[in-house]
Structure 1
């Protein structure tokens, strides 16, 4: 009996990439990035190693693709939560929701828990959309790129060294971060 084509019903490339990234994200959420191999992904996706390499590249391509998709999901969750908020209220909500969304995302939380600091730094440096996303989500002035970078650093510091509770984190953000953005509200 012939095996069914797993790439039917649309653009073959898009279907292959989506399936490969989906399988990778599932494997990473269970075992972590370092434990996942190209062989594992190919077997679980029902394709060959060559197909994985052809459509997404090697392990670094898998990592980048899965993290990029994870980042997009997180940004969408934050955007839904902040809605039409403005000013420092928006900044506080964006940061607190970012913390919650990253912690809830299996891929992002595994990456931050397991990756070496240099690896995290390389990913962040190679991701200019991160600061752009922070600018949009917090409502920051695009003429202030350092403010977006600083906001990303605040989120990362709280992810790596969390406060005792989400309430304490919110208090820290309201008391020490929000005032930095309140000057434009006067």
Structure 2
């Protein structure tokens, strides 16, 4: 293996390098087709080194999704920060997340036919994703369990739109406004 791998003395840099390699492979081959050996080879490290940072393929997938989610969420929160109406805030945030994923070949690869299973499982089991989605609701009208359920439901809708897109942006917006906004408005008022 290359000596420059050993020069990376910070674990976070090594993990980022591994995740970058995994991202490229996910986009090229599909999420389910990529194994730990593939990731190690693409990252320029040994399998043993890879396993020091990630215990298994699911751990790599989870770290990749969390990294992408945090990046997208930062942009979304800037985008919706000044929107007071809870319905419009949620619709704008959801459409922004959908557009961000669709625009990134490394992310949309998770939603190709036959690939959305891992994304769906991660999205529903991730405290990070739930916390970010729940952050859209700054009201005291929701208890923590209610906020958590609402966040998981909204995440399911986003995953659904990514796996089975609407006809166009207008149709997706109309669906969110018709079916999601009434639920969100009732929940936060």
TM-score with structure 1 setting the length? 0.82
Q: 5+ residue gaps in structure 1?
A: none
Which segment is superposed worse, 45-54 or 175-184? 175-184
Contact kept? 2:25, 2:34, Cα under 8 Å: yes
Which structure 2 segments of 5+ residues have no match? none
Q: Retained in 1: the 8 A contact 2:66–2:129?
A: no
- Structure 2 residue 67 is the aligned partner of structure 1 residue 64: no
Aligned with 1:33: secondary structure?
Answer: coil
Distance in 2 between the 1:43 and 1:160 partners?
A: 29
TM-score (norm 2): 0.81
* CA-CA distance at 1:126 after TM superposition: 2.2
Q: Determine the C-alpha separation between the residues in 1 that align with 2:60 and 2:17.
A: 12
Instruction: Count residues in correspondence.
Output: 182
CA contact (8 A) 1:99 1:155 kept: yes
Is 1:26 paired with 2:29?
no
Q: Give 1:41 deviation, angstroms.
A: 2.2
Q: Which residue of structure 2 aligns with residue 129 of structure 1? A: 128
Deviation at 1:173, TM superposition (A): 1.5
Deviation of 1:99 (Å): 1.4
Asked whether the equivalents of residues 54 and 60 of structure 2 are also in contact (C-alpha less than 8 Å), the reply is yes
2:171 is equivalent to residue 168 of structure 1: yes
Judged with a 3 Å threshold, the aligned counterparts in structure 2 of structure 1 residues 51 and 96 are, in CA distance, closer, same or farther, namely same
Please tell me whether the aligned partners of residues 87 and 184 of structure 2 are also in contact (alpha carbons under 8 angstroms): yes
Q: How does 1:1-186 map to 2 (within 5 A)?
A: 4-8=3-7, 11-86=9-84, 87-113=86-112, 114-115=114-115, 117=117, 119-137=118-136, 139=138, 142-143=142-143, 144-145=146-147, 146-183=149-186
Closer, same or farther: CA 84–62 of 1 in aligned 2, 3 Å: same
Larger Rg: 1
RMSD (Å), alpha carbons: 2.5
